[in-house]
Chain A
Amino acid sequence: MPHDHHDHDHHHTSELSPIELRVRALESILVEKGYVDPAAVDAIIQTYETEIGPHRGAHVVAKAWSDAPFADWLKRDATAAIASLGYTGRQGEHMAALFNTATLHNMVVCTLCSCYPWTVLGLPPVWYKAPPYRARAVREPRAVLAEFGLVLPETTEVRVWDSTAEMRYLVIPQRPPGTEGWSMEQLAELVTRDSMIGTGLARTPQ
């Protein structure tokens, strides 16, 4: 109906949601006052949306599985070892690698905010920043892991790392069986983001 069509056009700009209006207003002010270069904002977004992500962490893990001296370096100085692959910077300034074993499972949380190793995993998923995970990971990690479909033996130690400072933690999951002789590229395909947070395991080849 023409009348409906007219209403739709009339309200077009005001159909932005309240949050969209607030974001647009603040960005306009920041740009007009010269505090922010809009091209810099675009470059930051592009970096975290297209360049930095869990494929980097998967590279680190696959190399640790394939290269014993590199794994040893990761244990001693993860910041330098990871930097040697070109992964440095914001929210990854001080890194530590946590190696899972048959008797130890590591899991990372930030109970106080949303600290996460951006340089190797990218931006954190929503659940990592939300109250249920932050509240429960330290208190009942096994119940949380079960919600991710992971049930560990009662004798395995679950060690939860609460990122309360600027140390950033990357879990090195155990290498799956049946992957002898695999290339680093093949191995990296098995390394999920959750396996590097500790809420999952690396995939086992079919």
Chain B
Amino acid sequence: MIGAQDLGGRAGFGAVAPEQGEPVFHAAWERRVLGFTVAMGASGAWTGDQSRHKREQLPADFYWTANYYDIWLTALTQLLEERGMVTERDLAAGHAVDAARPPPRVLKAENVAAVLTRGFPYLREARSPAAFAVGDTVRTIRNETPGHTRLPAYAMERNGVIEAVRGCHVFPDSNGMGQGEDPRWLYTVRFSAKELWGDDRPDSICLDLWEPYLVGR
């Protein structure tokens, strides 16, 4: 979906504002949100792609102005409510009121280091050969799905060149909708600044794109 999250190329947001000597966190509550969001991410109650999809469905006026950890908090609360794991009554009380509906796993402190150092690899065994090779010219599709996708609007219907073949990766368009991993070949595709923006400069933009986003030329 071309939601508020699809920011590439949009105007109107002003200058980048780097902060000198920026701390890792700006408030104690940000620490807690990071901690319990990561912990719940390891619970198996949803996939990382479902979590991203929830964040990108937030209203634009909120998404464009909120503290990023509030984006996490708000989307996490919605994921929990949708699954009946947290209810409106719990939230109103600020404590557990309704019965628990436990996730598949609970991350224990003694397993944190192992889980964080293992991560969540997306590479899967290929079921078919790759359709494209390094150097091939490809064209991206137009993708106006209302669901989750990782093809940004600015790179739709543009010609590029395969820069790298990354293997067969979990496909977010399926995984983000709770429809299974459906692994597809992933490529890094390079586009010229001329092709994307009409600019006459020697620059280029690389995106990681799954095979269903691409057609041969």
Enumerate chain A interface residues (CB-CB to B < 8 A): 19-30, 32-37, 39-45, 47-49, 53, 88-94, 96, 111-114, 119, 122-123, 125-127, 129-136, 138-139, 141-142, 144, 147-148, 154-167, 194, 199
Flag if A147 contacts B100 (CB, 8 Å).
no
Flag if A93 contacts B207 (CB, 8 Å).
no
Which residues in B have their C-beta under 8 angstroms from that of A40?
35, 39, 107-109, 111-112
A-B contact pairs, 9 of them (CB 8 A): A42-B109, A44-B35, A112-B56, A127-B17, A135-B12, A147-B16, A159-B206, A160-B204, A165-B150
**Known contacts A29-B95, A40-B112, A41-B39; is A148 also within 8 Å of B203 by CB?**
no
Flag if B166 contacts A167 (CB, 8 Å).
yes
Given A30-B86, A40-B108, 9 more contacts at CB 8 Å? A19-B29, A26-B36, A43-B113, A96-B164, A112-B5, A123-B34, A154-B201, A161-B205, A164-B150
- C-alpha gap A44/B21 in the complex (Å): 22
B11: min CB distance to chain A, Å: 7
Task: Give the contacts of B178-217 with A (CB-CB under 8 A).
Answer: 186, 188, 190, 196-197, 201-210
Flag if B34 contacts A45 (CB, 8 Å).
yes
Q: Give the total of B residues in contact with A, Cβ under 8 Å.
A: 95
Flag if A36 contacts B119 (CB, 8 Å).
no
Which residues in A have their C-beta under 8 angstroms from that of B205?
138, 159-162
Flag if B109 contacts A148 (CB, 8 Å).
no
- C-alpha gap A27/B113 in the complex (Å): 21
Flag if B7 contacts A47 (CB, 8 Å).
no
- C-alpha gap A142/B115 in the complex (Å): 39
Flag if B100 contacts A21 (CB, 8 Å).
no
Which residues in A have their C-beta under 8 angstroms from that of B67?
19
**Known contacts A25-B91, A90-B116; is A160 also within 8 Å of B36 by CB?**
no
Flag if A132 contacts B8 (CB, 8 Å).
no
Which residues in B have their C-beta under 8 angstroms from that of A94?
121-123, 166, 169
Flag if A111 contacts B18 (CB, 8 Å).
no
Closest to B38 in A: A44
Which residues in B have their C-beta under 8 angstroms from that of A114?
68
- C-alpha gap A155/B203 in the complex (Å): 9
